[in-house]
Amino acid sequence: MVCSTSCSSPCYTLGFLQKNNSLGEEGRLSGALSERQKNLFTCENSDRDVRFRRTETDFSNMFARDLLPAKNGEEATIQFLLELVDILTNYIRKTFDRSTKVLDFHHPHQLLEGMEGFNLELSDQPESLEQILVDCRDTLKYGVRTGHPRFFNQLSTGLDIIGLAGEWLTSTANTNMFTYEIAPVFVLMEQLTLKKMREMIGWPSGEGDGIFSPGGAISNMYSVMIARYKYFPDVKTKGMSAAPRLVLFTSEHSHYSIKKAGAALGFGSENVVLLSTDERGRVIPSDLEAKILDVKQKGYHPLFVNATAGSTVYGAFDPINEIADICEKYNMWLHVDGAWGGGLLMSRKHRHKFSGVERANSVTWNPHKMMGVPLQCSAILVREKGILSGCNSMCAGYLFQPDKQYDVSFDTGDKAIQCGRHVDIFKFWLMWKAKGTIGFEQHIDRCLDLSQYLYEKIRNREGYEMVFQGVPQHTNVCFWYIPPSLRGMDPNSQEYREKLHKVAPKIKALMMESGTTMVGYQPQGQKVNFFRMVISNPAALQSDIDFLIDEIERLGHGL
Amino acid sequence: MVCSTSCSSPCYTLGFLQKNNSLGEEGRLSGALSERQKNLFTCENSDRDVRFRRTETDFSNMFARDLLPAKNGEEATIQFLLELVDILTNYIRKTFDRSTKVLDFHHPHQLLEGMEGFNLELSDQPESLEQILVDCRDTLKYGVRTGHPRFFNQLSTGLDIIGLAGEWLTSTANTNMFTYEIAPVFVLMEQLTLKKMREMIGWPSGEGDGIFSPGGAISNMYSVMIARYKYFPDVKTKGMSAAPRLVLFTSEHSHYSIKKAGAALGFGSENVVLLSTDERGRVIPSDLEAKILDVKQKGYHPLFVNATAGSTVYGAFDPINEIADICEKYNMWLHVDGAWGGGLLMSRKHRHKFSGVERANSVTWNPHKMMGVPLQCSAILVREKGILSGCNSMCAGYLFQPDKQYDVSFDTGDKAIQCGRHVDIFKFWLMWKAKGTIGFEQHIDRCLDLSQYLYEKIRNREGYEMVFQGVPQHTNVCFWYIPPSLRGMDPNSQEYREKLHKVAPKIKALMMESGTTMVGYQPQGQKVNFFRMVISNPAALQSDIDFLIDEIERLGHGL
């Protein structure tokens, strides 16, 4: 049994006694409390923990109003939560069980019509707790098991148990990151974790700034905002008219959030210039320089370059050092979007792909992708201290009072564009504690090895064609599956292209309907629909990769 | 016992048998599995649920790597999670216990130095699961109990058990809102819930658009973006230079996020014009019209008015109908920031304060504030269908493929400025199911009654002065406590003002150090620091209000 260091030995005994004394007691099934338990429940010493046990509880006549803070609501509350935990632990068990489906697919209209008593409509009157528990079960039943060993559909996959525990605790604590006052421990965890991340980036002594934001798109948006503030601080007060026409540069393979940021922040998406890439999807530095010169020639101001470290589709790493040289030459802000690639900074074997990242002005890094932290967990890291606050602070008096009794430099909320901010740090901090840096490293290396296994398996296999040649830089393996009916056709013919374009969507639809596995597909530029396999799932084994390939062939063979 | 409708009766028996058969078994303490249990664990029928039981588990030599997906990691995983749930349920029990403290205050440097073995630093090597559980316990120990009946510090207070259950499930499902493909149930729940909210606003048939966003500040930012897109769609592609100088209007009492949005989106904070208010903090419509005319006179373009429904400090409701008249007259966008007040739409008694809201173009409404939904849960609701998508879509091919097998109009992610989006809907949907609309109504009415109780109690009490006169519109009760040493001084003297300004911070610091209760304070305009009491906590009773007043007097009497 685990005791906190402040827990005295009577606590241990108490828990132990209660446990051995539990199920034989009369009156438990009816929900009544024994005298011993009543004593335990009213125990006022907050360092003594009570161990609760499941009882058979009839929830059909119980309602939310019977739970805490209702008078005598404690037992009902505990039993309700334990019943829910039973549902959740069963779900977790099945998630890792390869004999269960990844999903049980239904069309929107089917779910909207109501499935066997699962009714999504809301009403004026309350439902019983029994119905609520059934709804919880059904919600999971008709969802997608993103932690299943054969779920490869997104950059974020897997179900990390420590991270999950962190999220359960976070939601129980239910607080907000804006001040030290109401989130003292979490604010400090964020500060220490951001510092560790900056050390890994290579900024001297881990100095700098940063914040966790609701996803990589918002982190990238931050980078554009602070770049603008750095060079044209008057825009904060006077608007875009206080600056010349500002231009942002990013790869044609980069994430669409840079363009979204350009549109949202008032630059205009046309002022986001897309850079050409080589056949592996990496920015060509000379193209960047040519486009900067072109923009300058037109009298516009080149402000910002985004270098992608791990592109969404190809997993490509732009050459950061060469881009940094150009940014220095033209006095531009260098942002590195490592939303997907960031985890590789934790791997001694793979971090060379980030070579030059320490020269960046800002970096996006999403632990919720490659590192398996539950959604959401994204950091924007900034080399210059104070600039986030300078860019965003509005000094709201009701929240950030200067006359508090503690060091208010720990009230970090005014750096954010949000006011309330969800606690995204705890699960990540807890995972780092539980795995150590080496645990993350092992996970990263394993995923990259698996991805190379897939690459080696299919690169010369009949019926497969790689979208780009060579070992992938990240875990992205992009390929076409060519059904027998298309093999031998002229690959440059329009007919072939049209037919091939339909193969991946068709196989994907069949996959979802059979529920066996999930993998993404998309076109890219002139290339017709292809599969993009990514591996971030810690549950995936070589046998799951084999399964995926078998499944693609099973479903696609007859197309 | 609860069974899903698809669960056959053997499941019931199975769980029941197992339960009665549990604690007497040999070998459980050593972590070994009985034959019966092995059979249960390998049961492949996914509709049969297994009931797990706590065992005494020694976590001191176990690590994260021993949990699922590790081979044979199932038992360790379940025991670890159940141990965590024990910690969490004890925390919940204590949260509602008035004999526990709201917080155990420590300064940042104290926590950073490490408290009795609670070390926040991260390291390269993993910690044992025992240490991880201790860390969880300590994280809660040094945090703030935001669900405590005497926590009044923020607009978001309370710990709703159904909402908590919803969050635990959400993090177990660990998926992402961007597509129907990976979040079918949650996407539909969001759609149905937003429609209900629009019906409550009063838009015909609940038509329109909307999305859940990471907090009210981002929701307000959305409103400014779509207003700009509505009148000057070219800004999306060409930037702010495609529009004349655009001006936003909002109350001097409004939330700072409107100004933040103005700065971030390229308008400039100087182009956010602050409107004068009456002594209750409500916008004076004639001031709005005068300022619009002034702006027009200067050749700028008045674009957008924010009407606050429940201001942060006073809880004031701006007169929406009169503001809507002016917006119609000048062809401007009307946004209603109901982040704090939104819940009152659920109360037949109080919704008249929103009179005219159906004339708004967009509305922010945070269920995570007055309605007690766990953080984060904020909606931006829009009257015109399609405009959110028009404003924000970038049509990323890798995510929003048009050639999927289902109706892709359910892939709502491209409406968002985020890419990945946390599932904020489920806890809210579940609470609505569990309480019904009437449950929310009762909660709202109770909080407003309690607030009126506080108002009546102190408005003529010796040593109190109200910041504004009359029954508060929302639950905000703003007041000064005047210690005996200040009573009788000239209230207009500089000395009095300076002394009074220090009273609330001093009492607050003492409160936090004694850990008995928490309430916010701030200055506003020319008014020196005063307490802002807000009630959204469902656990609060009249006796807690009495306690707060006694505590203020106990701590402040000698100042």
Q: What angle do CA B264, B389, A270 make, to 5 degrees?
A: 60
> In Å, how far is B26's CA from the nearest CA of chain A?
13
- Whether A122 and B192 have beta carbons less than 8 Å apart is answered as yes
A269 CB near a chain B CB, below 8 Å?
A: yes
- Say what the pLDDT of residue A54 is: 83
Is pLDDT of B149 > 90? Answer: yes
Q: Where does A379-526 have alpha helices with state H? A: 387-392, 425-458, 494-514
pLDDT band at B48 (very low <50, low <70, confident <90, very high): low
pLDDT top residue among B344 and A2: B344
d(CA A549, CA A530) in angstroms, rounded, equals 14
Closest approach of B456 to chain A, Cα-based (Å): 24
Contact with chain A for residue B522, Cβ under 8 A: yes
B413 touches chain A (CB under 8 A): no
Strand bridging mode A272-275 / A246-251: parallel
Residue A417 lies in a domain: yes
Contact yes or no for A295/A302 (Cβ under 8 A): yes
Nearest-CA distance from A185 to chain B in Å? 6
Q: What is the pLDDT of residues A58-69, one digit of tens each?
A: 999 999 999 999
The domain tally of chain A equals 2
Are A416 and A513 members of one domain? no
Instruction: Give the domain CATH number at A550.
Output: 3.90.1150.170
Q: B225, A81: Cβ pair inside 8 Å?
A: no
- CATH number of the domain within which B214 lies: 3.40.640.10
The pLDDT, as a whole number, for residue B472 is 96
What is the pLDDT, as a whole number, of residue B453? 98
* Any domain includes A190: yes
For residue B362, which phi and psi values (nearest 5 degrees)? -155, 155
Does residue B52 or residue B11 have the better pLDDT? B52
Asked if residues B399 and B413 have their Cβ atoms less than 8 Å apart, the reply is yes
User: Are residues A413 and A454 part of one domain?
Assistant: no
Scored b (16 or more CB within 10 A) or e, B417-440 reads bbbbbbbbbbbbbbbbbbbbbebb
Q: How many residues does chain B have?
A: 559
**Would you state the pLDDT for residue A49?**
63
Instruction: Kindly state the percentage of chain A with pLDDT values over 90.
Output: 86
* B271 shares a domain with B392: yes
Please report residues of A whose CB lies closer than 8 A to that of B532. Answer: 398
Mean predicted confidence (pLDDT) in B4-8: 35
Q: What local confidence, expressed as pLDDT, does residue B137 receive?
A: 97
Q: What angle do CA B555, B558, B559 make, to 5 degrees?
A: 90
Q: Examine the domain organization and report whether A405 and A325 are in the same domain.
A: yes
**Is B443 at the interface with chain A, CB within 8 A?**
no
Say how far apart CA B382 and CA B360 lie, in whole Å.
Answer: 8
Residue B417 included in any domain: no
Q: Pick from A215, A375, A401: which is nearest to B505 by CB? A: A401
* Beta-carbon count within 10 A of A290 CB: 13
pLDDT of residue A47: 45
Phi, psi of A354 (to 5 degrees): -95, 10
Q: Tell me, yes or no, whether A409 and A462 share the same domain.
A: no
Determine the pLDDT at residue A56.
87
What are the Cα distances from residue A5, in Å, to A47, A101, A162, A293, B280?
10, 43, 21, 63, 51
Q: Are residues B360 and B453 in the same domain?
A: no
Q: In terms of pLDDT, which residue wins out, B21 or B103?
A: B103
For B54, which residue in chain A has the nearest alpha carbon? A53
pLDDT at position A283, please? Answer: 98
Residue at which a domain ends, from A395, A423, A451: A423
pLDDT at B449: 98
pLDDT in tens, A448-479: 999 999 999 999 999 999 999 999 999 999 99
The shortest C-alpha distance from B330 to chain A (Å) reads 23
Structure tokens at A508: 């994907």
Task: Give domain status of residue A91, yes or no.
Answer: no
Residue B544, domain extent: 434-556
SS3 track for B93-120: HHHCCCCCCCECCCCHHHHHHCECCECC
Domain boundary pick from A359, A391, A423: A423
Indicate the SS3 state at residue A549.
helix
Residue numbers in A near B185 (CB within 8 A): 111, 120, 139, 142-143
B545 CB contacts (<8 Å, ≥6 apart)? Answer: B450, B453, B454, B457, B535
Q: What percent of chain B has pLDDT over 90?
A: 86
Q: Token pair 């003002």 is at which residue?
A: B497
Tell me the C-alpha distance between B221 and A146, whole Å: 31
The answer to whether position A260 is within a domain reads yes
Listing DSSP states for A123-134 in one string gives -SSPPPHHHHHH
Distance from the A359 Cα atom to the nearest Cα atom in chain B, whole angstroms? 25
**Chain B contact for A443, CB < 8 A?**
no
**CB within 8 Å: B184 and A136:** no
pLDDT band of residue B177 (cuts 50, 70, 90) is: very high
pLDDT at A409 over 80: yes
CB-nearest to A263 from B138, B236, B410 is B236
* Residue B54 confidence (pLDDT): 83
Run of H or E residues at B529: strand B527-533
Beta bridge partners of A377: none
In chain A, positions 370-389, which contact chain B (CB-CB < 8 Å)? 374-376, 378
Does residue B25 fall inside a structural domain?
yes
Q: Which of A85, A432, A75 is nearest to B79 (CA)?
A: A85
pLDDT (tens digit per residue) in A61-105: 999 999 999 999 999 999 999 999 999 999 999 999 999 999 999
pLDDT bucket at B99, cuts 50 / 70 / 90: very high
What pLDDT digit, counting tens, does each position of B195-240 carry?
999 999 999 999 999 999 999 999 999 999 999 999 999 999 999 9
Q: Which residues of B touch A189 (CB under 8 A)?
A: 120
Q: Give the residue from chain B lying closest to A19, CA to CA.
A: B23
Q: Over B55-103, what HEC string results?
A: CCCCCCCCCHHHCCCCCCCHHHHHHHHHHHHHHHHHHHHHHCCCCCCCE
**How confident is residue A53, by pLDDT bands cut at 50, 70 and 90?**
confident
> What pLDDT is recorded for position B535?
97
* Separation CA B361–CA B327 (nearest Å): 10
What pLDDT shows up at residue A46? 41
- Give the whole-angstrom CA distance, residue B482 versus residue A404: 19
Q: What is the pLDDT of residue A34?
A: 39
**How many CA atoms lie within 13 Å of A161's alpha carbon, on the beta-carbon side?**
33
Burial class of residue A403 (count of CB atoms within 10 Å of its CB; 0-12, 13-18, 19+): middle
Residue B398 has pLDDT above 60, yes or no: yes
Q: B108 near A184, Cβ under 8 Å?
A: yes
Chain A (187-216) residues lying within 8 Å, Cβ to Cβ, of chain B: 188-189, 192-193, 196, 214-216
Tell me the average pLDDT of chain B: 91
CB A412 within 8 A of CB A177: yes
Shortest CA gap B286–chain A (Å) = 26
Asked if A6 is an interface residue toward chain B (Cβ–Cβ < 8 A), one would say yes
Question: Is the pLDDT reported for residue B425 higher than 80?
Answer: yes
pLDDT for residue B129 is more than 90: yes
B29 confidence band (pLDDT: 50, 70, 90): very low
How sure is the predictor about A483, in pLDDT bands with cuts at 50, 70 and 90? Answer: very high
Calculate mean pLDDT across residues A307-335: 98
Beta bridge partners of A232: none
Nearest Cα of chain A lies from the Cα of B3 at a distance, in angstroms, of: 7
Q: Which residue has the higher pLDDT, A430 or B39?
A: A430
Measured at the CA of B270, the angle between CA B267 and CA B271, to 5 degrees, comes to 50
**Can you tell me the distance from the alpha carbon of A451 to that of A472, in angstroms, rounded to the nearest whole number?**
8
Is residue B27 exposed (0-12), middle (13-18) or buried (19+ Cβ within 10 Å)?
exposed
Burial class (CB in 10 A: 0-12, 13-18, 19+), A513: middle
Q: What is the DSSP letter of A416?
A: S
- Any chain A CB within 8 A of the CB of B461? no
Using the predicted structure, report yes or no on whether residue B157 has a pLDDT greater than 60.
Answer: yes
Residue type, A489: M
Average pLDDT over residues A214-222: 98
Q: What is the dihedral of CA A273, A279, A280, A282, to 10 degrees?
A: -30
Residue B50 is predicted with a pLDDT of 66
Question: Between chain A and chain B, how many beta carbons pairs sit less than 8 Å apart?
Answer: 607
Please give the single-letter amino acid code of residue A448: L
User: Between A80, A136, A182, which is nearest B153 by CB?
Assistant: A182
Q: Tell me the pLDDT tens digit for each residue of B297-332.
A: 999 999 999 999 999 999 999 999 999 999 999 999
Query: Is the domain of A340 the same as that of A453?
Result: no
Whole-number pLDDT of residue B114? 86
pLDDT digits 0-9 by tens, A173-201: 999 999 999 999 999 999 999 999 999 99
Where b means 16+ CB within 10 Å and e means fewer, B192-219 reads bbbbbbbebbbbeebebbbbbbbbbbbb
CB B483 within 8 Å of CB B557: yes
Are B277 and B386 part of one and the same domain? yes
Residue A41's pLDDT band (cuts 50, 70, 90): very low
Is residue A545 domain-resident?
yes
Residues B237 and B370 in one domain: yes
Determine the distance in angstroms separating the CA of B258 from the nearest CA of chain A, rounded to an integer: 10
pLDDT for residue A379: 98
Which residues fall within 8 angstroms of residue B543, CB to CB, at 6 or more apart? none
Q: Is the pLDDT assigned to residue B14 strictly greater than 60?
A: no
Mean pLDDT of the region A24-34:
35
Span between the terminal Cα atoms of chain B, in Å: 57
Task: Mark whether A419 and A439 lie in a shared domain.
Answer: no
Let me know whether A245 and A349 are in one domain: yes
pLDDT of A429 over the 70 cut: yes
For chain B, positions 15-74, list CB contacts with chain A under 8 A: 16, 19-20, 22-23, 41, 44, 46, 49-54, 56, 59, 63-65, 67-69, 74
- CB nearest to B266's CB, from A111, A112, A239: A239
What pLDDT sits at residue B49? 64
Nearest-CB residue to A89 (from B78, B154, B171): B78
What H or E segment, with its residue span, contains residue A212?
Answer: strand A209-213
Choose among B109, B140, B240: nearest Cβ to A241: B240
Token pair belonging to B452 = 């009126």
Contact A156, A536 (CB under 8 A): yes
Residue of B nearest to A272 (CA): B237
Cβ–Cβ under 8 Å, residues B80 and B128: no
Q: Which of B451, B443, B471, B467 is nearest to B548 (CA)?
A: B451
Task: Choose the closest CB to A122 out of B116, B196, B240.
Answer: B196
pLDDT band of residue B117 (cuts 50, 70, 90) is confident
Q: Are A184 and B153 in contact (CB under 8 A)?
A: no
In a shared domain, residues A318 and A417? yes
Judge whether B185 lies within some domain. Answer: no
